[in-house]
Chains A and B, each alone.
Chain A
Amino acid sequence: MNGAAGIPTTVGSNKQDMPKHVFIWLVLAFELLPFYMMIQISMKTNREFNVNQWIPNAPWNWDVENYRYALELVLPYIANTVFVAVTGTVISLFLALMAAYFFARYRMPGGSILWSIFLVLMLMPGVANIVPLFMLIKGMGLMNTLWALILISVAGAQVFAIFVLRNFIEDLPKDLFEAAEMDGASHFQQMLNIVVPMCAPILGTLFILSFLGKWNDFLMPLIILRDPELFTLGVGLIYLDGEYNKDWGRVMASFFVASIPLFIIFLFTMKLFVKGLSAGAVKG
């Protein structure tokens, strides 16, 4: 069993599941290879890495200096990043959920025009033009504030979330909504009591994806923020992006330390969305 990721090696009790586990572990071996590389490189000094890139060092001479450097580099930025990422993700998912509910519930007049507006934005190729956006933020007096970051990231994440959520809401059985309507539930209540629990799994996935996007972003913070105290994680990590001689060990250690809070929040969201909510809802 591939012990690199530290997963307990005892397999589940059921026998027929064995072939499934083997297949999954085979695929995961390839998927987790980059993660394994990241961990073993982060234990090496640049000199050791240059000589041997693949085989991890023996445990007794694992280099902890990289992690000391990483902690020192990353800690000042964690708080701001969590603040921006969490607020941004919650707002963007909430707005996307409402918009997706509108499109999925009824084919309202004018709905197809609105949908094409969203679609056009999603398909427009990468001509994201920072300059007018910057002028807009300046005009709104939001320069050098974290809220500017949040608003921009919310706008950015909307289209993808609506596109995905609409499909899922349309899949929900219609009689659920009719039943709720009979009891006089308003659209808002219908959304919260039926759609959110039933679509918990996809909501969890969208939460992780949009959270990840905001966690590593460093272009917007650099352009909008001026005071170093406000910088987010992405900006902190740019110091490692030396063009000529990258210090691989430090890059890997810093990315690993930077992703620990990410990891904790993933574990939490996965648990919340996968098990907690879906247990409560009525199954189809």
Chain B
Amino acid sequence: MRFPQQMRTWLAAGCALMMAGCGRQIEKPDPAKGWEQGSLLLVKEAWEEFDAAGEKGVGNPREVALGEAVMLLTLQPKVQSNLDEAETHLRRLIEEKPDDDPGIFAAYFLARLKQVHDFNPNLDEALKLYEGLIDRHGGHPVAQAAVAKIIILRYFSKPAPERAAVLEEAENYRRLLANPDALRAFHGVMGDLALRLDGQRQRAIDHYLRAYELQIPNSESRATVVLRIARLAEAEGQIDLARQFYQKFVAEFERDTRNYWVRQHLKSMEKTP
């Protein structure tokens, strides 16, 4: 009995674009188009645009070098030679002019390279790079993205007992963050870290409350924050705050499967004084 030939092609369902596909030749490279494609996750096309621009000397060379390095970070397939090439670009950009836009971007992405992209990441070096970026250009929006990274890296580099101090010290980064979105992200990270630490529940509640006041656009993360405030408040014994946010969760997230449990829980809270 012969099984159909298709059995042999089962792996085809899993294969992706072949690496061997040759890169497209680009006559008129344009960095702006490269950034546009990069923002739509079309990293391969974006890298080809910057690579061609670099060779043909089109556009501002620093911008083009930055674009190529940023795309090389996640260009697939991931091989060490790509990361090394990206690193050389970034380091050259920083050395030449550390204070213009490409220079600041290069510092941030060099830190990202060290923190996440390298085959064996070096967290300490990444932390120093982030801190250097904040000291020199605290107000720059790219540097503001580094704030959360610094807090996370410091938190996990310390053993558990010293982590409360890390959070305490991180509080004064709030002064640095100008726009509401960056501020909301800061409160989110502080809340997420505090709830993982014994005795820091109150800090988590404060941060989540401030994040909630700044209107969280994404409905799913908003539901999690509302529920967390209620659960943390209940654990800390603040029953009124807990009840208020449980009711807010029931009202706003009708379709969520946790809704029914919260309603039953609210009834049981009514019985006990």
Touching chains A and B, CB distance < 8 Å: yes
Q: In the complex, what residues of B have CB within 8 A of residue A135's CB?
A: 18, 21
Q: Interface digits, A99-134 against B, CB 8 Å rule (1 contact, 0 not)?
A: 000000000000000000000000000111111100
Decide yes or no whether A65 CB sits under 8 A from chain B: no
Q: In the complex, what residues of B have CB within 8 A of residue A34's CB?
A: 1
Q: In the complex, are the beta carbons of A128 and B8 less than 8 A apart?
A: yes
Count A-B pairs with CB separation below 8 Å. Answer: 35
- List which B1-20 residues lie within 8 A (CB) of chain A: 1-2, 4-12, 15-18, 20
Decide yes or no whether A217 CB sits under 8 A from chain B: yes
Q: In the complex, what residues of A have CB within 8 A of residue B1's CB?
A: 34
- List which B135-159 residues lie within 8 A (CB) of chain A: none
Give the complex CA separation of A251 and B213 in angstroms: 62
Give the complex CA separation of A129 and B17 in angstroms: 10
Q: In the complex, are the beta carbons of B9 and A132 less than 8 A apart?
A: no
Decide yes or no whether A219 CB sits under 8 A from chain B: yes
Q: In the complex, are the beta carbons of B12 and A129 less than 8 A apart?
A: yes
Closest approach, in angstroms, between the C-beta of A103 and any C-beta of chain B? 25
Closest approach, in angstroms, between the C-beta of A113 and any C-beta of chain B? 23
Q: In the complex, are the beta carbons of B18 and A219 less than 8 A apart?
A: no
Decide yes or no whether A213 CB sits under 8 A from chain B: yes
Q: In the complex, are the beta carbons of B10 and A126 less than 8 A apart?
A: yes
Decide yes or no whether A145 CB sits under 8 A from chain B: no
Chain B, residue nearest A135 (CB) = B21
Give the complex CA separation of A135 and B6 in angstroms: 19
Partner of A130, one of B5, B7, B12, B20: B12
Give the complex CA separation of A213 and B3 in angstroms: 11
Closest approach, in angstroms, between the C-beta of A6 and any C-beta of chain B? 22
Q: In the complex, what residues of B have CB within 8 A of residue A45's CB?
A: none
The 7 closest A-B pairs by CB, nearest first: A126-B8, A130-B12, A128-B9, A127-B11, A129-B15, A132-B18, A219-B6
Closest approach, in angstroms, between the C-beta of A12 and any C-beta of chain B? 29
- List 6 A–B pairs whose Cβ atoms lie within 8 Å, in order of A's numbering: A34-B1, A129-B12, A130-B12, A130-B15, A156-B5, A219-B9
- List which B190-242 residues lie within 8 A (CB) of chain A: none
Q: In the complex, are the beta carbons of A217 and B5 less than 8 A apart?
A: yes
Closest approach, in angstroms, between the C-beta of A85 and any C-beta of chain B? 14
Give the complex CA separation of A127 and B12 in angstroms: 7
Count residues of chain B with CB under 8 A from any CB of chain A.
17
Q: Interface digits, A201-225 against B, CB 8 Å rule (1 contact, 0 not)?
A: 0000000000011001101000000
Chain A, residue nearest B16 (CB) = A131
Give the complex CA separation of A126 and B8 in angstroms: 4
Q: In the complex, are the beta carbons of B11 and A129 less than 8 A apart?
A: yes
Known: A128-B12, A132-B18. 11 other contacts (CB 8 A): A127-B11, A127-B15, A129-B11, A129-B18, A130-B9, A131-B12, A131-B15, A131-B16, A135-B18, A135-B21, A212-B2
Give the complex CA separation of A129 and B19 in angstroms: 13
Q: In the complex, are the beta carbons of A131 and B9 less than 8 A apart?
A: no
Chain A, residue nearest B6 (CB) = A219
Give the complex CA separation of A219 and B9 in angstroms: 9
Closest approach, in angstroms, between the C-beta of B3 and any C-beta of chain A? 11
Q: In the complex, what residues of B have CB within 8 A of residue A130's CB?
A: 9, 12, 15
Q: In the complex, are the beta carbons of A126 and B18 less than 8 A apart?
A: no
Give the complex CA separation of A135 and B11 in angstroms: 17
Chain A, residue nearest B2 (CB) = A212
Give the complex CA separation of A149 and B21 in angstroms: 23
Q: In the complex, what residues of A have CB within 8 A of residue B11's CB?
A: 126-129
Q: In the complex, are the beta carbons of B9 and A126 less than 8 A apart?
A: yes
Chain B, residue nearest A129 (CB) = B15
Q: In the complex, are the beta carbons of B18 and A131 less than 8 A apart?
A: yes
Q: In the complex, what residues of A have CB within 8 A of residue B10's CB?
A: 126
Give the complex CA separation of A126 and B7 in angstroms: 8
Closest approach, in angstroms, between the C-beta of A174 and any C-beta of chain B? 35
Give the complex CA separation of A216 and B4 in angstroms: 8
Q: In the complex, are the beta carbons of B15 and A213 less than 8 A apart?
A: no
Give the complex CA separation of A176 and B255 in angstroms: 84
Q: In the complex, what residues of B have CB within 8 A of residue A216's CB?
A: 4
Q: In the complex, what residues of A have CB within 8 A of residue B8's CB?
A: 126, 128
Q: In the complex, what residues of B have CB within 8 A of residue A156's CB?
A: 5
Give the complex CA separation of A156 and B17 in angstroms: 22
Q: In the complex, what residues of A have CB within 8 A of residue B9's CB?
A: 126, 128, 130, 219
